[in-house]
Amino acid sequence: MKIETIAQDGYERVAKCEDPESGLRAVISVHDTTLGPALGGLRMWPYASWDDAIFDVLRLSKGMTYKSAVADTGLGGGKSVIIGNPKTDKSEQLFTAMGRFVDSFNGKYITAEDVGTSVEDMIHVRKGTERVTGLPLDMGSSGDPSPWTALGTFRGMKACLEEVYGDPSFEGKMVAIQGCGHVGVYLARLLKEAGAKMILADIAPERARDLAAEVGGIVGDPATILEAECDILAPCALGAVVNDETLPNFHTKIIAGAANNILLREEHGQRLKEAGILYAPDYVINAGGIINVSIEVEGAYDEERARAKVENIYHALKRVFELSKERNLSTNEASNLVAEERLQAGRERAVEA
């Protein structure tokens, strides 16, 4: 196994690994460990080149630093990628080798599943390192993150309702959900209990139909769901749904969903502000999964502690909204500022110690 460190300004350590025996070609990026060990998922993707893989892992690991800082998880930001096709290139040997690569970071990086990897892959990674989370509950781990992501999104929506209507109640409010997958299903169940009305859309029509039958919602058209007349639009499928084309067509007061990278570009946050639409920054509202994992990293996993901390997303968003008003910033700019302030405070504490 050949591990080579790549110099990268603004990052603590980036390294690439080539292991001819297992076929592993991977990159780990530790962006920042000021607030704790860097935690972030392992992505497997058929990148066209090392440069593409490095570009992606740098971007994603920095995002994890900000996400964990705002969520106050006591973790830093990191990420890893394997160059390969998740449908055809997986093997036990490959993931065990990846585990050894993770282990070479001596605890500075902790991995988890992500796009293209599964719990089963993590079980193989565990053969090469102890620095892996998101294993099955019966292995003492924190299990499926989706219900936690849904709970955090639900709590974040409450903060949005309070901000816009002066009342956090869902009673009679219309929520349009794009994507009835892992998170969408759990979210819709919470919304039903809270008395919300729902429009549900999925490109797999049976998913929307089954969920609508369960929670009493209306089935929406996936081609037009972003234009639905609603109080909250909840993107829970894809990123980049706020862009130049979609922006003039929203009929919602709030955009708050679990999807990653909801804004195509940062400037689209400002455009939402100008349009009078409250945007819950994606990495703040969808942090339930990482918060749950952070409880596992602290020590013995405790579900009640996880719940309390995930529910705190409500307060994290309130803080973002306050700052956005105080400084006349878009909400995404305000959340970046909260993250940077937390990191700066962490650096000052480290200097004093």
Q: Among residue numbers 148 through 177, which ones bind ligand NAD (CB under 6 A)?
A: 149
Minimal distance, residue 20 CB to ligand NAD, in Å: 32
User: CA-based angle 326:328:332, to the nearest 5?
Assistant: 100
Q: Decide whether 292 or 336 has the Cβ nearer to ligand NAD.
A: 292
Q: Which of 16, 62, 79, 90 is catalytic?
A: 79
Q: Decide whether 201 or 277 has the Cβ nearer to ligand NAD.
A: 201
CB 282 within 8 A of CB 288: no
Query: How many residues make contact with ligand NAD (CB under 6 A)?
Result: 24
Asked if 260 touches ligand NAD (CB under 6 A), the answer is yes
Q: Give the range of 65-73, 234-242, 297-305, 336-344 binding ligand NAD by CB under 6 A.
A: 234-242
What DSSP state is assigned to residue 324?
Answer: H
CB 254 within 8 A of CB 231: yes
What DSSP state is assigned to residue 299?
Answer: S
At residue 171, what are phi and psi to the nearest 5 degrees?
-50, 120
- Tokens in use for 281? 């920054």
Residue 275's alpha-carbon distances to 134, 242, 249, 297, 319, in angstroms, are: 39, 12, 11, 41, 21
At residue 15, what are phi and psi to the nearest 5 degrees?
-140, 145
| Burial degree of 172 (CB within 10 A; 0-12, 13-18, 19+) | exposed
Asked if 40 touches ligand NAD (CB under 6 A), the answer is no
Residue of the chain from 137, 139, 203, 350 that contacts ligand NAD (CB under 6 A):
203
Asked if 181 touches ligand NAD (CB under 6 A), the answer is yes
Q: How far apart are the first and last CA of the chain?
A: 37
Q: DSSP per residue over 223-234, as a string?
A: TTGGG-B-SEEE
Minimal distance, residue 334 CB to ligand NAD, in Å: 20
User: CA-based angle 135:68:109, to the nearest 5?
Assistant: 55
Residue 251 identity: H
Asked if 68 touches ligand NAD (CB under 6 A), the answer is no
Asked if 256 touches ligand NAD (CB under 6 A), the answer is no
Minimal distance, residue 44 CB to ligand NAD, in Å: 15
Asked if 238 touches ligand NAD (CB under 6 A), the answer is yes
Asked if 236 touches ligand NAD (CB under 6 A), the answer is yes
**Beta bridge mates, 177:** 200, 234
CB 108 within 8 A of CB 33: yes
**Annotated catalytic, 79?**
yes
Asked if 182 touches ligand NAD (CB under 6 A), the answer is yes
Residue of the chain from 13, 173, 197, 207 that contacts ligand NAD (CB under 6 A):
207
**Closest-CB residue for ligand NAD?**
181
Q: Give the range of 45-53, 87-95, 231-239, 303-311 binding ligand NAD by CB under 6 A.
A: 231-239
Residue of the chain from 201, 211, 230, 285 that contacts ligand NAD (CB under 6 A):
201
Which sequence positions are flagged as catalytic? 79
Residues near ligand NAD (CB under 6 A): 145-146, 149, 178-184, 201-204, 207, 222, 236-238, 258-260, 286, 289
